[in-house]
Structure 1
């Protein structure tokens, strides 16, 4: 059983190349920002969608941050 609590989703701007895979996968949660990098913009945390987007990211720029990781 997974007892970790997701507290945020981050897109590392140093890794993100703006491929848009995350945005194409879920435009309600991810958007390309003016600087060309993606950002998680969802009002609620959607762990499953964020995990799926992280797996699709060609440069592994999407990180899920859990409470136990702080």
Structure 2
């Protein structure tokens, strides 16, 4: 019973995350599917997240990134 509930909860979360997401192309050309801007309380939080994402994938916080909502 507990496993069934957890499985359903994870599937529901996954569907929500997929529906409210964005595709980001980093400054080095890698694409990643992630949450959209509305998942953050402020623009600054979202901007910091985008920098973190670019740094994790490309090694730098700067550069031109493209953002497209799903």
Do both proteins adopt the same fold according to a TM-score greater than 0.5, normalized to the shorter chain? no
Question: Which protein is richer in helix relative to its size?
Answer: 2
TM-score by length of 2: 0.30
Quick one: higher RCO (CA 8 Å, sep 6+), 1 or 2? 1
